Chain A
Amino acid sequence: MMTQILDYLKNLPGYFYTSLGIMAFIAVISIIVGIKVKKMDVRQTPSKFMTLFISLVEFYNNMIKGYIGKHWKFVAPVTLTLAIYVLLSNISGVFALDSPTRYTSITFSLSIASFIIVQTTGFISQSWRHLLGLFKPLAPMFPLNVVSELTPIISMSLRLFGNVASGSVFLVIVYRGAGWLSIFIAPAFHIVFDIGFGFIQAVVIVLLTIIFASNKVSESDFAK
């Protein structure tokens, strides 16, 4: 029993450790920020480090309030965590790490998480009446509605996986083809494929989650 567990832990793939490292990094940064926020004095001006985080959270909360309305307090922290994790793991290719979003197991679990966020938002906003949305225009539409709820899991995970994997395949071609010249050539491709496309994909997966969630919110919650 113990040897089986040890064998399992020894043979974990490399991207798993990258994912754990990114999560530890996010956890450490957020704990530091949380302690500093608790100790903050009203009369003093915050430091530059704190101003960055305060303005980021302020901007993000205002954006979520525009989309979700009254129940933004559930959606904002979860989706911000998702955004930071996806962004950091897309960028981690720059630091010569094995980026976790290159593998379907990680992206599939991320899209299942986004599906759970969307459905939970619906249940918080409309309680059990959220399930009536499956029969919305007409009762015979039920199977079609179920399929249209479930297909975003597949399409979201494959979108993230395909973008990051195609970028990394292209970078492998550049490194093989250019040889030692890749010192000069590769950084430009890293900027485009790791940072540029990684940022766009992080924005896309989070915005799609928020938009799907805002479809589940009942109309009365938007009124102040």
Chain B
Amino acid sequence: MLTLLNQILPVILDVVPNEFYARGLAYIGAGIAVFTGFGSGIGQGIAASKAVEAVGRQPEASGKITTTMIIGQAVAETTGLYGLLIAFILINK
């Protein structure tokens, strides 16, 4: 492990900020921006689990519950899509 680190570290430290350097950092930034999907995924999962509980408690209202769940999930998804948008912008940089 230490030998590997010793091989890599000089390469990292001697890096020259040319155009490829900026491009690589933009790709890393795109990867970080897509990480917003983490939160929106958790939110959508919570909404789906609560909808399943509600259908189990009141099966006759399943149509209304499904519509409300889809609307709520779509609104929660918007936050993740903003991250995706930033990633698109960074990739085309």
Measured CB to CB, the residues of A under 8 A from B are 155, 158-159, 162-163, 165-166, 200-201, 203-204, 207-208, 211
Contact = CB atoms under 8 A, between A and B. Distances in A.
Interface in B74-92: 74-75, 77-78, 81-82, 84-85, 88
Main secondary structure of the interface of B (DSSP, over half): helix
B81 A158 contact: yes
A108 to B, nearest CB: 13
A203 B70 contact: yes
B74 A204 contact: yes
Nearest to B83: A162
B81 A162 contact: yes
A3 B74 CA distance: 45
Contacts of A162: 78, 81-82, 84-85
Nearest to A166: B84
Contact of A165 (B71, B74, B88): B88
Contacts of B71: 204, 207-208, 211
Given A203-B70, A204-B70, A159 B88 contact: no
B81 A159 contact: yes
A201 B75 CA distance: 11
Nearest to B34: A166
Main secondary structure of the interface of A (DSSP, over half): helix
Interface centre among B67, B81, B85 (most CB of A within 10 A): B81
19 contacts: A155-B78, A158-B85, A159-B77, A159-B78, A159-B81, A162-B78, A162-B81, A162-B84, A165-B84, A165-B88, A200-B74, A201-B74, A204-B70, A204-B74, A207-B71, A208-B71, A208-B74, A208-B75, A211-B71
A159 B74 CA distance: 8
Contacts of A207: 67, 71
A204 B70 CA distance: 7
B35 to A, nearest CB: 15
B76 to A, nearest CB: 11
A166 B77 CA distance: 12
A201 to B, nearest CB: 7
A119 B32 CA distance: 38
